[in-house]
A and B are shown apart, each in its own frame.
Chain A
Amino acid sequence: MKQAETAPARRPDEKPGTAGRKRGWHLFKAENGFDMVFFALTMLILVIGLVCLLSASHAYSFYKNDGDSYHYIKRQLIFALMGIAAMVAVSFVDYHILHRFAIPLMVVSWGMLVVVRMMPPIANVHRWIVLGPVRFQPSEVAKFALVLLFAHLISINHKRMKSFTRGYLPFVAVLGFTCALVVIEPHLSGTILLLGIGLVMMFVGGTRVLYLALSVLLGGGLASYVIFVMGYEIERVEVWLDPFAVYTSSAAGKDLAWQTVQSLYAIGSGGLLGQGLGNSRQKHLFLPEPQNDFIFSIVCEEMGFIGALLIILLFILLIWRGFSIGIKAPDKFGSMLAIGLTAQVGLQVLFNLAVITNALPNTGISLPFFSYGGTSLLMLLAQIGVILSISRQTHRRV
């Protein structure tokens, strides 16, 4: 494997004679330390997310787990602690080592995607691999593998990214194959996320905009054809257009639109200032699985629009900081890795918020740092660790 990068000689904005003095954001940075802002934002969001999970899940947990209100939060806490440890640990690892894992991890994740198709379905879908007490989604692994592989490919091909055969075809092939494996689980939201991440990385990586635009048009056209002409998932679109009408139309419609409508009930009940932390009513067996994809509806109900907006603002800061680390990364690989991982978090947050507010049709996308899911959180924090590792090198000095 070709190592294209060398360490940068010096920070471009470094002025002679100011080495010892740190101003602005530099105040939070230790020498060779990671980006404290990014770390702090992560921890802040994680803590808020855990508090919200406790609030959102305790009632549901009480009813579903024989009176144990803390079933979900206990598990999530353990994974969060493990995740923080992993995050810090990973941040100490030089991310360049990941070059070596780029192709093998992709292959492994493909293998897992094939294996998961053969596992017994859970709730009619083949999304989880169960290993004893641990349960994880190969599509989560595939996301990271995709980011890693794309970062790797872009970093070694960055001069030839304008080429169709080098800068477009391999990416589309990998993306297409991975998506194909995920979509047959079936896992529509995972597929959309993979496509989004792939698209962002190819775009930033330098693929011709023309190719991308044509691909998006083609893909959009194909998707429209599948939905509107073949009628696949058309109910979701109907629910999306007028959830309450479907909800009140029939018993079947009620089931179909239940989650979306209950989410809107929760959000609307929050109003501007919210019912107060812990005071959600929708979490009491109205909103199904309030600890999962729709956790933010409960957050909206309890914290109100103001509270929700503050949390969204924290996410925006995190994403901005992630991209900023990517831009400041010492090399193409680190750059693409940070941008890809940040885009993954950002897209997931964005899609989740869009779904719970019914700005987009309902697909199961969890909210990073908030939604219940131990392995998922562990992986997310490890990925944040990778970004932190990259951030260590943005201000590495000679």
Chain B
Amino acid sequence: MTHGRQQDVSFQAPARHMWRRTLAVILLFALGFTGVSAQLLRVQVFEGAVWRRRAQEQQLSGQPVAAKRGAVYDRNGEVLARSVETATVLMRPAAIPDEESRRLIACQAAQLLGVDEAKVYARTGKTYSNCETVAARVDFDKADAFIRWLQTCSLPGVFRIVRDYRREYPGGSLLSCVLGFAGSDGSGLEGLEARYESTLAGKPGRVVLTQNGWGDALPQHLQYEDTIDAQEGNSLTLTIDANIQRMTEMYLDTAVRECGATGRGCAIVMDAGTGAVLAMAVKPDYDLNQPRELNDYGRRLLNAAAGGQDERLLAALQSQWKNKAVSEFYEPGSVFKSFTASMGLELGLVTETTPFYCRGYYSMPGAPLMKCHVYPRSHGSQTFAEAISHSCNPAFMTLGGMVGGENFSRFFEAFGFTERTGIDLLGEARVTPSLYHTAERITPLDVATSSIGQTFKVTPIQMITAMCALTDGGELLQPYVVQRVTAPDGSVVAEQGRTVRRRVVSQQTAQRMCALLEGVVDGGGVKNAYVAGYRVGGKTGTSVKTDSAVQADGRKNVVASFMGIAPADDPQAIVLVLIDEPQTAIRYGGTLAAPVAQQIFSQLLPYLGVEPRYTEKEQKQLARIVPDITGLTAAKAQQALEKQGLKLYLSGDGTSVLRQNPPAGEPIRTGGRVVAYTSAEPARTVTVPALIGGTLAAALSKAADAGLNLLIDGFEQDAGTAFIAAQSVPAGETVPLGTALTVRLLYKDSIE
């Protein structure tokens, strides 16, 4: 072509240069189009995914689908926390046609969904809004009723029902300090719910809808819905046993109430061989289903605090939610002597028979006189075993001096008092060196005071974990609460068991220490922790809260505590009971905390399947089971009762027994009298006498006079010093003749 054009002279235009320049322009255009095509390729293909994702953020309205939160079970599979499916009813006020409909909607919502009519009515007025809540997390049957009503009226496009979940705690306040709770959005806020949030939460799903630039749904043919299923969360199986938890909570609660402890009380029951927590209770507690309602403790804090109403309320709530057992420090007092003693044993400084002398005080140069708790009396000459059971301060200060600061600090650290236990609970307090005497700065005086559990602070969980090192043969364990994490399909995701942190003392030392602790309960002062048939060991403690305010009666507040192990020869369980700031006149660990532990042990040990082994003396005093004597002749009935060590009280003139009281199978105190009716007559009744405060002997004679039987809670080890602390039926009530009253014994002469 070019050739032809060049030759064509008559073809006056376009000239040759023009042809070349047109070609240049064409080339430039080609270059330009190549450029924009390359740019298009880049934006559309290479960067396409990025732009597409960004575009989808505005094009898709993701409606999240709530994931079912995993449940929490106790070790026997009892449900402690669960999520139940609920419905949330949403509406689009912009689609409500008129005023009449607004009123109707508010009225029906109030009737069928149980929500506040005025509030719903106000929300229907927000015509600018595309989504307002009518009722959140209502039961499905309520939502169903509402949907049925909707079908009868013509309000298209106004309502939408979203499935979600509500967290329920069937036990109410049971285990509240450990479980914690989830907020209304389903995320864990406290306790295990927060600690295991990622495990429990699951993955929320999504329903994806397309929308236009104004946020409205796209036309039908372009609309698509895509559902990403929600993934249910994993479940937790705890080491906690709900039954043990219930008994622990019940006895602790009674004790805390009776003594009016202002600093709350807590109790921990730990498996002595594994470090698994069987029960953990804080009282007063709170209802997990209503966590924002203040309990007595919270109310007291609220009233005492200064500042704005909201801040005070929040601070009070947070305090009431705090798990005292792991998050608060206290001075352990004499309970700590167990560890000082094991240091002495481990170092070979003392044996059970090493003599100690108590002058009623302990003196050190340049320090004030440190008195024994019996001062101005003294324990005099005693063996080491006796010193433990006396809880003798001078003896332990002497022992501390023998151990020395360096060794004391080494064992103190080895027992785990300078670090967190690492228990899988929320809010374990951080241990700082300001709480104890570090190896660098410990003075002999510090050693002396520390030896009796004073001038340093620990958490309850640290104490019981350290004790566990003695009960499991000298190894410090990792305490834990979650035994197993289970996926929704039942497969086990994670499992936790006995985890050894380090060896603290030798096995012999540990065993000897357990035996010595039994001596404290058995032969020593802590009769209130005595459980018939079981060998309970333990140590009481009463420590003055030096940093607390002085009470009205001029005394400083105390912490009364008791830590017990049972059976002492083969420990199965450890119980730590701590009562903070009791307000009673007598406020020793032995009188307040030990009875709680005794009550827990007396139920716990049979529950754990530990066979009771009664001593001869115990055998004699053991409660008798009433035999079935109905249908028997009077003589035969007498025989049957005598075999059980019981007596017969015959009423009526018939030949055989028609009815009896107490009924067959009920335990009563040995020597009790069973009432037998041989003719049809109404049961005779008697008035219950007042027994509380009196001695056991007085109670026995009063009951016998009234024609009632007794059942002793606690054991009549040394009945002379015991008094009745409680009776099961209040004085003045009328009961049938022969009824068995349960009375609780308490010993006044407990040490500390």
Q: How far is the CA of A60 from the CA of B165 in the complex (A)?
A: 40
- Indicate whether A389 reaches chain B with its CB closer than 8 angstroms: no
| B interface footprint on A112-156 (CB within 8 Å = 1, 0 otherwise) | 000000000000000000000000000000000000000000010
Task: Establish whether residues A206 and B40, one from each chain, have CB atoms under 8 Å apart when the complex forms.
Answer: no
Q: How close is A350's CB to chain B, nearest CB, in angstroms?
A: 5
B128: interface (CB < 8 Å): no
Q: Restricting to B1-59, which residues have a CB under 8 Å from any CB of A? A: 1, 4-5, 7-8, 10-15, 17-19, 21-22, 24-26, 29-30, 32-33, 35-37, 39-41, 43-45, 47-52, 54-56, 58-59
State which of B33, B45, B218 has its C-beta within 8 Å of the C-beta of A305. B45
Is B212 part of the contact surface with A, judged by Cβ < 8 Å? yes
* Smallest Cβ-Cβ distance to B10: which chain A residue: A9
Residues of A within 8 A of B12 (CB): 4-6, 331-332
Instruction: State whether A8 touches B11 (Cβ < 8 A).
Output: yes
Is residue A375 within 8 Å, beta carbon to beta carbon, of the partner chain?
Answer: no
Which among A304, A331, A359 has the greatest number of chain B C-beta atoms within 10 A?
A359
Cβ-neighbour of B51 out of A4, A268, A320 (below 8 A): A268
Residues of B within 8 A of A305 (CB): 40-41, 44-45
Tell me whether A309 is interfacial, beta carbon within 8 Å.
yes
Whether, in the assembled complex, B459 has its beta carbon less than 8 Å from a beta carbon of chain A, the answer is no
Among A286, A316, A326, contact of B22 (Cβ-Cβ < 8 Å): A326
For chain B, the count of residues having a C-beta within 8 Å of the partner chain is 51
The answer to whether the Cβ of B213 comes within 8 Å of any Cβ in the partner chain is yes
CB-based contact A269/B51 at 8 Å: yes
Pairwise interchain contact B212-A285, C-beta atoms closer than 8 A: yes
Known interface pairs A12-B11, A332-B13, A357-B40. Does A281 touch B25 (Cβ–Cβ under 8 Å)?
no
Contacts of A5 in B (CB 8 A): 12-13
Choice from B19, B37, B45 contacting A327 with Cβ under 8 Å = B19
Q: Check if B33 sits within 8 Å of A350, measured CB to CB.
A: yes
Instruction: Using A285-B212, A332-B14, A357-B40 as known contacts, say yes or no to A203 and B25 having CB atoms under 8 A apart.
Output: yes
Report which of B17, B22, B25, B55 forms a contact with A268, defined as CB distance below 8 A.
B55
Q: Which residues of A contact B29 (CB under 8 A)?
A: 316, 319, 346, 350
Decide if A359 touches B25 in the complex (CB within 8 Å). no
**Within 8 Å CB of A333, what residues of B?**
13
How long is the Cα–Cα vector from A203 to B283 in the complex, in angstroms? 95
Cross-chain contact A206 with B17 (CB below 8 angstroms): yes
- Name the segment of A83-91, A219-227, A259-267 touching the other chain: A259-267
Chain A residues touching B, majority SS: helix
Instruction: Give the chain A neighbours of B24 by CB distance below 8 A.
Output: 203
Please report the C-alpha to C-alpha distance between residue A48 and residue B43 in the assembled complex, in whole angstroms: 23
**A205 near B: Cβ within 8 Å?**
yes
B21, B58, B214: residue with the most chain A Cβ atoms closer than 10 Å = B21
- Do B36 and A204 touch across chains, with their CB atoms under 8 A apart? no
Provide the bound-state CA to CA distance between A300 and B48, in Å.
11
Query: Are A206 and B51 in touch, CB under 8 angstroms?
Result: no
Contact with B along A270-308 (1 / 0, CB 8 A): 111000000101101110000000000000100011001
Q: Which of A59, A319, A354 contacts B39 (CB 8 A)?
A: A354
Choose from A271, A319, A332, A357 the contact partner of B36 (Cβ within 8 Å). A357
List of B residues within 8 angstroms of A265 by Cβ: 51-52, 54-55, 58
A326 closest partner in B (C-beta): B22
Q: How far is the CA of A63 from the CA of B217 in the complex (A)?
A: 13
On whether the beta carbons of B213 and A309 are closer than 8 Å, the reply is: no
A204 in contact with B25 (CB, 8 Å): yes
Give the distance in Å from the alpha carbon of A8 to the alpha carbon of B32 in the complex.
34
Residue B210 at the chain A interface, CB threshold 8 Å: yes
The answer, among B14, B30, B44, for a CB contact under 8 Å with A335, is B14
Q: B658 to nearest A CB, angstroms?
A: 88
Query: Is B44 touching A286 in the complex (CB atoms < 8 A)?
Result: no
Interface residues of A in 318-369 (CB under 8 A from B): 319-320, 323, 326-327, 329-333, 335, 339, 343, 346, 350, 353-354, 357-359
- Give residues 5-29 of A contacting B (CB, 8 Å): 5-6, 8-9, 12-13
Which residues of B have CB within 8 Å of A92? none
B21 cross-chain contacts in A, Cβ below 8 A: 203-204, 206
B222 CB–A CB distance under 8 Å: yes
Q: Is the CB of B43 within 8 A of A282?
A: no
CA distance A267 to B25 in the complex (A): 29
From B8, B12, B18, B210, name the one whose CB has the most chain A CB atoms within 10 angstroms. B18
Q: Is there a chain B Cβ closer than 8 Å to A174's Cβ?
A: no
Q: Is the CB of A354 within 8 A of B36?
A: yes
CB under 8 Å from chain B, chain A span 221-262: 244
Residue of chain A at shortest CB distance from B214: A285
Q: With an 8 A cutoff between CB atoms, is A184 at the interface?
A: no
Query: Which B residues contact A (CB, under 8 angstroms)?
Result: 1, 4-5, 7-8, 10-15, 17-19, 21-22, 24-26, 29-30, 32-33, 35-37, 39-41, 43-45, 47-52, 54-56, 58-59, 210-214, 218-219, 222
What are 16 sample pairs from A and B whose C-beta atoms fall under 8 A apart?
A: A5-B13, A204-B25, A264-B51, A265-B51, A265-B58, A268-B47, A268-B48, A281-B210, A281-B218, A282-B55, A284-B218, A286-B55, A305-B41, A316-B29, A323-B26, A357-B40
Q: Besides A12-B8, A308-B40, A312-B37, 20 other CB < 8 A contacts?
A: A6-B12, A12-B4, A200-B25, A203-B25, A205-B18, A206-B15, A206-B18, A268-B48, A268-B54, A269-B48, A272-B44, A272-B48, A284-B211, A284-B212, A285-B214, A305-B45, A312-B36, A316-B29, A320-B26, A354-B39
